[in-house]
Amino acid sequence: MAFCNGKAAAGDALSQVEDLEKVIILDAGAQYGKVIDRKVRELCVDSEILPLDTSPEKIKAAGYRGIIISGGPMCVNDEDAPSYDPGIFSMGLPVLGICYGMQMLNSTFGGSVQGNTGREDGQFTITVENSALPFKGLKKEQKVLLTHGDSVDKVADGFKVIAKSGNIVAAIADEKRRLYGVQFHPEVDLTENGQQMLKNFLFQACGCHGTYTMNCRETGCIQEIREIVGKHKVLVLVSGGVDSAVCAALLHKALDKDQVIAVHIDNGFMRKNESQMVYESLTRLGLDLKMVNAAHQFYNGKTHVPINKADPKGKKRITEQLNRTTNPEDKRRIIGDTFMKVADEVISEMNLNPEEVFLAQGTLRPDLIESASSLASKNADAIKTHHNDTNLVRELRDKGRVVEPLKDFHKDEVRALGRDLGLPQDLVQRHPFPGPGLAIRVICADEPYHCDDYNETHTILRLIVKFADTLEKVNYPHALLQRIKNSTTEEERSMLASMTRQHPMMSTLLPIKSVGVQGDARTYSYVAAISSSEPPHWPTLFKLAKIIPRICGCVNRVVFLFGDPIKEIIPDVTPTFLTTGVLSTLRQADHIAKKVLLESGHMKTLSQMPIIMVPLHFGRDAILRQASCQRSVVIRTFITNDFMTGIPAVPGDHIPVELVSKMAEEIEKVPGVSRVMYDMTAKPPGTTEWE
């Protein structure tokens, strides 16, 4: 029974926890820096993430076997670059510097780093010296994730180049002192053999043997829960997703049954019939679940947010009502804080003293990473504030009232733990559904987003998707054409010319923004739409989707627009807020999309498939000046292990072309839907969700 009623024996697994081999991860703020600990644990080596300026004395005293330095959003040449003690490099411990960490290593030993050398964001093929320790046992050509704008210029004395990406230094090493630097990110799945590279470092340079198992971690979670909760009660917020279900199962294993109060909150942004299904599935598993319908409180919710986000305790402003705001971060904060308020009301209604009841959440490490929580990083950029890590949650956490046993876990690790705890496969494998639900899947707007760079970017897009014509017509120096040349190789340009000669396409820059992540920093940028009078040629479209954000830095997402080609500028938007009408249209589109996916048998091919509503009405009669009154729907497929990086499913490769066209056809039948689009953006530069 998954929600067992007895306390688990502490077991002798705990005793093993004490004498484990550990490495330290010094955090320079990268999004992926926190993924390093997950990859290290996958190799059954324990790790701890500490601030970049941790002293050599502390590192030595703790007995770490090696040091890994993460990436980060800053440049080592910046005046306010994160501080560190150069002594960490001369302790005799092996060091692996990743991206920013490599740039820092190189600079410390007298090398130099050049800023703004042209961005590389995405998967690239590099050439490695496979006699060098990090690359032992690997082929000379390696596909890796590079996401950087600065590069090693002069290599430090005593180091040699052991990998290159074109003309860019991709890795350096001083084998004698066991100091290594890589410009790419071995910790993410887009670096195909990154795990072997980390294993080479951990086992051959640091001398680890892999003794840190999932059983030890489960025991550690149970110990943590008991130490925090003691004999008190704990209210666990259960969404129906795997994280909170595993959290609830751990609580039941660690505590007496009457200590655990499980609550599901219908916040008004759930999918069709979701809360009912959550109730049925979890009570069937033996969980005593209290249901709360709080939609009204969420729709009309407001909260206070810091005027200066760097000073969370400073002056605050009151947000708009949730159903009147267009600001994604305000949406998230209102929802997160309303969850807390509703939870407090539940505690009061049960005549419990809020000061004596703990709050448990299934918060994961990615939730904390992207909210730039101090639990996960000191130098990270906040990509998006997860609802379970708002300032109110952080205040409760500071008071020691929050229990989050999964805060160091990633999604696939939670699933493994869920299986160990006996949770059913359909729950363990369920696609994640974010706490804010459909609220972050409606791009709200009351006016078009036409910034200064809109017209120029709209023009460059057309030059790119009509590149063959561009080369024929523009045979004189042209600033925008030069911008394309500056960001592409000769080979890419000839590929672009032949693709666009073969496949007639149109483009338009959509007057809306979506959230993305580039160079470890948050972006909130334009969406480019490509359309065609022919059926979509997906390999061509996906190549364009990779090149466009590199050429147009203000575009972080590229979609294919089904239906008649659109090349004109979209002059306006349909005023859109989180209202019941908008939500019911999206809910219906989401329900249809999920039904088509289920029937296709490809639910497991995808890690997640957000369906997003955007305030755009296409194909209106310009002469009649028809008002914008419809909205469009985006299909966002995503394939990933850890949700820190990932790729969209390519129709005709990961999923059948017919599946996507059927899904688009069915969604377009929903009343009020103008067009359907397919998101072709990887992470980076886009994120899984649009907000």
Ligand X SMILES: O=c1[nH]c(=O)c2[nH+]cn([C@@H]3O[C@H](COP(=O)(O)O)[C@@H](O)[C@H]3O)c2[nH]1
Ligand Y SMILES: NC(=O)CC[C@H](N)C(=O)O
Beta carbons within 8 Å of 91's beta carbon, 6+ residues apart: 56, 59, 60, 67
Residue 367, interface with ligand X (CB under 6 A)?
A: yes
619 is in an annotated binding site: no
Min dist CB 503 to ligand Y, Å, is: 33
Question: Of the candidates 384, 441, 503, 557, which one interacts with ligand X according to CB under 6 A?
Answer: 384
Among 124-132, 307-315, 366-374, 629-637, which window interacts with ligand X (CB under 6 A)?
366-374
Give the orientation angle of helix 328-349 with respect to helix 391-398, to 10 degrees: 50
Task: Kindly identify the residues of this chain, within the stretch 349-368, that bind ligand ATP according to CB under 6 A.
Answer: 361-363
CA-to-CA distance for 476 and 460, rounded, in angstroms? Answer: 16
Contact flags string 64-83 toward ligand Y, x per CB under 6 A? -------xxxxx--------
- DSSP, res 635: E
Beta carbons within 8 Å of 477's beta carbon, 6+ residues apart: none
Nearer to ligand ATP, 294 or 305 (CB): 294
Cα 115 to chain centroid, rounded: 25
Nearer to ligand ATP, 428 or 559 (CB): 428
Q: How far apart are the first and last CA of the chain?
A: 37
Residue 608, interface with ligand X (CB under 6 A)?
A: yes
Residue 688, interface with ligand X (CB under 6 A)?
A: yes
Task: Kindly identify the residues of this chain, within the stretch 204-243, that bind ligand ATP according to CB under 6 A.
Answer: 237-239, 241-243
Contact flags string 174-213 toward ligand X, x per CB under 6 A? ----------------------------------------
532 is in an annotated binding site: no
Question: Of the candidates 103, 107, 196, 244, which one interacts with ligand ATP according to CB under 6 A?
Answer: 244
Nearer to ligand Y, 438 or 517 (CB): 517
CB-based burial of residue 524 (10 Å sphere; 0-12 exposed, 13-18 middle, 19+ buried)?
middle
361 binds, among ligand X, ligand ATP, Mg ion, none (CB under 5 to 8 A by kind): ligand ATP
How many residues in the shown chain lie near ligand X by CB under 6 A? Answer: 18
User: Residue 509 phi/psi, 5° resolution?
Assistant: -90, 120
b/e code 480-502 from CB counts within 10 Å (16+ = b) = bbebbeebbeeebeebbbebbee
Contact (Cβ atoms closer than 8 angstroms) between residue 391 and residue 16:
no
Angle at 315 between CA 309 and CA 316, to 5 degrees: 75
- DSSP, res 411: H
Task: Kindly identify the residues of this chain, within the stretch 237-256, that bind Mg ion according to CB under 5 A.
Answer: 243
Min dist CB 435 to ligand ATP, Å, is: 3
Segments in 318-466 forming alpha helices (H): 328-349, 365-370, 391-398, 411-420, 425-428, 454-465
220 is in an annotated binding site: no
166 is in an annotated binding site: no
Question: Of the candidates 47, 191, 200, 267, which one interacts with ligand ATP according to CB under 6 A?
Answer: 267
Task: Kindly identify the residues of this chain, within the stretch 498-557, that bind Mg ion according to CB under 5 A.
Answer: none
- Please identify every residue annotated as catalytic: 99, 185, 187
Beta carbons within 8 Å of 675's beta carbon, 6+ residues apart: 561, 562, 563, 616, 618, 619, 632, 633, 668
Q: Quick one: which of 246, 218, 202 has its CA closest to 44?
A: 202
CA-to-CA distance for 311 and 502, rounded, in angstroms? Answer: 54
414 is in an annotated binding site: no
Task: Kindly identify the residues of this chain, within the stretch 435-454, that bind ligand Y according to CB under 6 A.
Answer: none
Min dist CB 150 to ligand Y, Å, is: 3
Q: Quick one: which of 164, 188, 106, 40 has its CA closest to 684?
A: 188
For the chain, the helix, strand and coil percentages under 3-state DSSP, each to the nearest 5:
35, 20, 40
Q: Quick one: which of 591, 688, 691 has its CA closest to 648?
A: 688
688 binds, among ligand Y, ligand ATP, ligand X, none (CB under 5 to 8 A by kind): ligand X
Residues of each annotated binding site for ATP: 239-245
In the complex, the residues that contact ligand X under the rule CB under 6 A are 332, 366-367, 370, 384, 386-388, 432, 434-436, 608, 643, 683, 687-689
Residues of each annotated binding site: 239-245
In the complex, the residues that contact ligand ATP under the rule CB under 6 A are 237-239, 241-244, 264-265, 267, 361-363, 388, 432-435
In the complex, the residues that contact ligand Y under the rule CB under 6 A are 30, 71-75, 99-100, 147-150, 519-520
In the complex, the residues that contact Mg ion under the rule CB under 5 A are 243
